[in-house]
Amino acid sequence: MKNRNALIGFVIVSIVTTLAIAAPWIAPYDPATTSIRLFEGPSAEHWLGTDQLGRDIFSRILFGARVSLIIGAGSAVVAGIIGVPIGLAAGYLGRTVDMMAMQFINLFIALPGLVLALIIITMTGATMLNIVLVLGFVAWPGVARLARGQTFAIRESVYVEAARAVGGGTAWIIIRHIWPNIFRLVAVQLATVVAFAIFTSSSLSFLGLGVPPPTADWGGMVRSGVDYLSVNPYMSLAPGFSVAITIFGFYMLGYREE
């Protein structure tokens, strides 16, 4: 990669993803197994110590990475499925379709994402599937707006005009000529959606509306450790750092130089 920031992001995301995938094999303990060794500090047996139930914090960090990445990637897929077709149609067809689509997109952009997610999660229940669907639904307008802008910019290009001249239909032109040319930028936008979803899901967990226990979840771990910072600060600091470095990695991966 020529972009140094993207390279940094790629390395961070690759490391986090590898650790998440390999968690069942490299985690020294079951993340849900309790013990009588409460609030232990870092040691050779427990690298980051134990929590209020005697669970190994390092193991829970590894398994928490799986939850965060699943929610982030799932939300990006949902946002792409909703936003990309709307953006492509609005940008290529223009006029009435574009005007209606932009009004719809701007309506959702004006709504605070975290507040909207809080309301919907409270109504539907805090399950991983619901969180993925809600965060994807909240994030799709940004994807749609980017796809619409890029489509609008290239719809009058020479190769698009040539495709029209030989009788190419709207769907064929969009799939064959426009989508391949905007895919890279849309993929970059989806990387930022993953970062947004990880941050928002962690915020929901901190507020008690995330993935229910005993599933290891970074936001929930931060919240449970707040009351015990003076006993073992790693209970909050370790998952908090994990959230921060993962979000940083995805934002760097999605960084675009103007």
CATH for 159? 1.10.3720.10
pLDDT at 258: 45
pLDDT tens digits along 187-240: 999 999 999 999 999 988 888 888 887 888 999 999 988 888 888 899 999 999
**Would you say residue 29 lies in a domain?**
no
By the 10 Å C-beta count (0-12 exposed, 13-18 middle, 19+ buried), 28 is classed as: exposed
Number of domains in the chain: 1
Instruction: Check: CB of residue 74 under 8 Å from CB of residue 130.
Output: no
pLDDT at 62: 95
**Would you say residue 22 lies in a domain?**
no
Q: Report, as an integer, the average pLDDT of 80-102.
A: 90
pLDDT at 2: 53
Residue 178's domain comprises 2-16+54-253
**Would you say residue 40 lies in a domain?**
no
**Would you say residue 233 lies in a domain?**
yes
pLDDT at 23: 94
Q: 64 or 115, which is more confident?
A: 64
